[in-house]
Amino acid sequence: MPTQNPIFIPGPTNLPEAVRRALDVPMEDQRAPDFPDFTLPLFADLKRVFKTEAGEALIFPASGTGGWEAALTNTLSPGDKVLTSRFGQFSMLWADMCQRLGLEVITADVPWGEGVPLDKFAEILGADKGHEIKAVLACHNETATGVTSDIPGVRRVLDDAGHPALLFVDGVSSIASIDFRMDEWGVDCAVSGSQKGFMLPPGLALVAVSQRGLEAAKSAKLPRCYFDFEDMLKLNRTGFFPYTPAVGLMRGLRASLDLLLEEGLDNVFARHYRMAEGVRRAVAAWDMELVSAGPQWRSDTVSAIRVPEGGDATAVIAGAYHRYGLSLGTGLAELSGKVFRIGHLGSVTELMLISAIAGAEMAMRDAGIAVELGSGVAAAQSWYRQDSDTVAQAAE
């Protein structure tokens, strides 16, 4: 009998039933007179998730990569200097995009498993007396390594240096899952995607831009057309779009935002910590290690798990999929064959993750890795049985 198991990759994530139903609607007229009755509240509630009152929220038919490009091309000019750090596949790809767009990239690289190096950023920004660096790029949650960086710390570094550079944040696998505060942290452009914490299929780049970012767009010289903020916002303010929007996905976004706001964002973040910690305790029970170099880096949306020396993570992933119908995340770039990933963001429950942990144990044993069956399951069960007050105290 055909079955559909939940997936445990760090995006796309599982669809809640309310979102799936919201997506299954007839086509509609995106230029209908009453279309703004739908879109204007959607923009307003999207801003609530980004935690911005002063900024603007934009919805592009694209992936998170399109959101990266929108942030860069709308605010910068050819030859501008940007500061970033590479510590995983996606922070590396964003830096690559900067280079390909004709920007001068200053990188403060650190080993994969760490996050944004605040000390190196402070040194570089402090030495930039002429303020030639126009933007600082920070990957809030590096999906490839399961590492979350300190974005408020990046803002403190900028402020301590008295540096006016714009702050851009890749929040593709963090926003709507991990605490993010755009206005409070002084973020000028934040990028997310529909397929992660927003619990939708891929296809929407969700971007929020500050008033400083919009002001920078007035003089920026990098070419843009499809991702032009001005074109988009001019019509968004009336509830419409300059080209055909992804209306079906936007209906799903409406359902997703309703779920997130009804639960309450603080509760959403606490739930993600609870789910993540169960997986982390399973990894400890296996006597295995996360890629993240220490507790301060651990992500609440994805855990990247190193297999023991001589183990083959590719065999674990393939075996889990073909034998048990379990989708685990693969290791990327330099982590290929060394790591498998368990995504624990979006619409997941304790019992769903127990099944992922059990399946991973079986797949590891099948691949010749000597893990004790049930050890990770028992550790996760013990954690998940604790009441919410105990979990909240542990999170603090």
Q: In whole angstroms, give the CA distance from residue 192 to residue 58.
A: 11
Select from 142, 211, 153 the least CA-distant residue to 183. 211
pLDDT-derived band at 392 (thresholds 50, 70, 90) equals low
* Alpha-carbon span 367 to 323, nearest angstrom: 12
Instruction: Kindly indicate the confidence band of residue 391, based on its pLDDT and cuts at 50, 70 and 90.
Output: low
pLDDT for res 395: 60
pLDDT in tens, 320-351: 999 999 999 999 999 999 999 999 999 999 99
Q: pLDDT class for 19, splitting at 50, 70, 90?
A: very high
Q: How does 8-42 read in b/e, with b if 16+ C-beta sit within 10 Å?
A: bbbbbbbbbeebbebbeeeeeebeeeebbebbeeb
Encoded amino acid at 76, one letter: L
Reported confidence tier of residue 385, pLDDT bands at 50, 70, 90: very high
Show Cβ contacts of residue 218 under 8 Å, excluding neighbours closer than 6 positions: none
Domains belonging to the chain, first-starting first, are 17-262 (3.40.640.10), 265-395 (3.90.1150.10)
Q: Are 115 and 178 in contact (CB under 8 A)?
A: no
Q: Is the pLDDT of residue 95 over 60?
A: yes
Residue 394 has pLDDT above 80, yes or no: no
Please, which pLDDT band fits residue 1 given cuts at 50, 70 and 90?
Answer: very low
**pLDDT confidence tier of residue 23, bands split at 50, 70 and 90:** very high
Average pLDDT value for the chain = 96
Mean pLDDT of 17-30: 96
Average pLDDT estimate for 212-235: 98
Structure confidence at residue 4 as a pLDDT band (50, 70, 90): confident
Instruction: Measure the CA–CA gap between 201 and 32, rounded to whole angstroms.
Output: 25
Average pLDDT of 365-386? Answer: 97
At residue 173 the predicted structure's pLDDT band, cuts being 50, 70 and 90, is: very high
Spatial neighbors of 367 by CB under 8 A, at least 6 apart, are 311, 312, 315, 316, 319
Residue of 343 and 387 predicted with greater confidence: 343
Contacts of 168 (CB under 8 A, 6+ apart): 71, 72, 135, 136, 137, 138, 187, 188, 189, 190, 191
| Entry pTM | 0.95
61: its two tokens: 């038919």
2, pLDDT greater than 60: no
* For the chain, percent of residues with pLDDT exceeding 90: 96
Mean pLDDT of 71-89: 98
